[in-house]
Amino acid sequence: MDDDISLGFMVLALVILLCISAFFSGTETALMRLNRYRLRHQARNGHRGAHLAETLLAKPERLIGLILLGNNAVNIAAASLVTVIALQLGGPRWVAISGVLLTIVLLIFAEVTPKTLAAKQPERVALPAAFFYYPLLKVTWPLIWLINVIANGVLRLCGVRPDEFGDDALTMEELHTVVTESGALLPQRRHRMLLRILELQDVSVDDVMVPHNEVVGLDLDEDWAALVPQIRNSTYTRLPVYRDSIDNVVGVLHLRTLVTQETIDSLSRNKLLELLEEPYFVPEGTPLNQQLVQFQRGHRRTAFVVDEYGDIQGIVTLEDILEEIVGEFTTEPSPTLQDVVRDDVHGGYVVNAGANIRALNRTMNWNLPTEGPKTLNGLIVEQLERIPANGTGLMLADYSTEILQTGENLVKMVRIHPPSSNSSASANVG
């Protein structure tokens, strides 16, 4: 009877040890599989389990040491207990058989099954387990410290320095991948905005600026009687002021300083000069993310883009950069929409070939190539390597394009037929 009780007790103890082993194995996988950024967010929102898990994972070598210590101790105890049971049941010849059976049982019930479950639902397993591991680590800290010291010493003998391991910070490319793959979890507009923010570093002021030949401003060499109507009828809130050409810019006039009709009527050339903001110049090729910061630091909204010789190439505004993120939002007339007219007779869209390609893509929801030339004219000339004749047809990526008008060594007007899957998503233009 005593042997039966002893045997039953040992079997029960073996089952308990297997459950503990499964716990250690599963929680190890769950803790290592946790999304660190989601965990940090939960911890900041007051989730106690997330806070404890984040604390444990701050020093992963200590946590791993604790789990491995417990798991190995339990597995060794289980193996010893199985040996005793085998000797009691069948003698020495059963020891080898019991070892094989224990290995299979450990592999299935204490390794594969709990680790698979933990990998699929890491938060449900890891966060409750953190309440157990946190105090246990405090109790066993001296032993864990000794184990880590010895382990780190072995690593140094192998030429590996433990303090050289990097953190889990994401690079910009990795963050871009995370945002791209999270598209199903976010509203489409918000997902697109996040991607555009990350892509600002790959877009320069050259891509969004108003080119030199399209800049609208005030020429101080003109008669004053001709300047006043331009100021009164301007559709823009800021106008560059120059002498003879934009290359001789004097400053920028903020029309909101002229808040009343009486102010405009009493305006003089000298008073206009007093109201001008100093021109702000930036080098071409400046990434938009850097320029956005510079606008913020300098409390500016308009910059003149210059090349290496100091010649003005165009104007970039804060609104241009923000529209790269959120799309068209300004109440001022959009040059891009003015450059595009739906052709109800022949189909497609009649487009001003001087339009900026990125602005076209953003406004019309198109995907014209943006690598290389900035304007539609430049893209066509680069592809054909000549100024085409009227009626010439070509493909710009998947966009069927027909040359409608050329002149002055450039393409002026084209007709574009977007791919059928894209045309329905294009903006409504008159």
Long-range contacts of 331-338 (CB under 8 A, 24+ apart): 332/235, 332/236, 332/237, 333/235, 334/363, 335/210, 335/214, 335/359, 336/360, 336/362, 336/363, 336/364, 337/363, 337/427, 337/429
Burial grade of 80 (CB within 10 A; 0-12, 13-18, 19 or more): exposed
Report whether 396 contacts 388 (CB < 8 A).
no
According to the model, what pLDDT value does residue 174 have? 73
Map tokens 């090349």 to a residue. Answer: 307
Helix (H, G, I), strand (E, B) or coil at 330: coil
What is the residue-wise DSSP string for 314-328? EEEEHHHHHHHHH-S
Strand-pairing partners, residue 312, are 306
Contacts of 270 (CB under 8 A, 6+ apart): none
Instruction: Give alpha helix (H) positions in 219-299.
Output: 224-233, 261-265, 269-275, 288-298
Strand-pairing partners, residue 302, are 317
The CA–CA distances, whole Å, from 50 to 29, 35, 249 equal 16, 11, 58
Provide the whole-model pTM: 0.60
Angle ∠(181,185,188) on CA atoms, nearest 5: 85
Residue type, 322: L
Give the span between the Cα atoms of 4 and 11, in whole angstroms: 11
Report whether 129 contacts 27 (CB < 8 A).
yes
According to the model, what pLDDT value does residue 336 have? 57
CATH code of the domain made up of 335-423: 3.30.465.10
Two structure tokens written together for 15: 């089952």
Give the span between the Cα atoms of 117 and 27, in whole angstroms: 10
According to the model, what pLDDT value does residue 60 have? 86
Give the span between the Cα atoms of 402 and 369, in whole angstroms: 17
Two structure tokens written together for 61: 């070598």
Q: Starting from the edge strand earliest in sequence, which strands make up the sheet with 393-396, in order? A: 340-342, 349-352, 410-417, 399-407, 393-396
H/E run at residue 410: strand 410-417
Q: Mind listing the pLDDT tens digit of every residue in the chain (430 residues)?
A: 445 558 888 889 999 999 999 999 999 999 998 888 788 888 899 899 999 999 998 888 889 889 999 999 999 999 988 888 888 877 777 787 888 888 899 999 989 999 999 999 999 999 999 999 999 999 988 888 888 888 888 878 887 776 655 556 667 777 777 777 776 677 777 878 888 888 888 888 988 888 888 888 999 988 888 888 888 888 888 899 999 889 899 999 988 877 665 577 778 888 888 889 999 999 998 999 999 999 999 999 999 999 988 899 999 999 888 888 887 665 455 555 567 888 777 788 999 888 888 888 877 888 888 888 888 888 999 998 888 989 899 999 889 999 999 887 889 999 999 887 555 545 555 4
Domain with CATH 3.30.465.10 in the chain: 335-423
Give the span between the Cα atoms of 189 and 255, in whole angstroms: 33
Map tokens 């003998």 to a residue. Answer: 157
Radius of gyration of the chain (CA): 35
Strand-pairing partners, residue 350, are 341, 415
The CA–CA distances, whole Å, from 315 to 124, 148, 237, 335, 383 equal 54, 60, 14, 14, 27
Q: Please report, to the nearest 10 degrees, the dihedral formed by the alpha carbons of residues 273, 277, 278, 282 taken in order.
A: -140
- Report whether CATH 3.40.50.2300 matches the domain 207-317: no
The CA–CA distances, whole Å, from 284 to 79, 159, 232, 250, 307 equal 71, 47, 32, 20, 6
Give the span between the Cα atoms of 369 and 361, in whole angstroms: 9
Pairing of strands 302-306, 340-342: unpaired
Give 170's DSSP letter. Answer: P
Domain with CATH 3.10.580.10 in the chain: 207-317
Instruction: Give alpha helix (H) positions in 339-424.
Output: 357-364, 376-384, 420-423
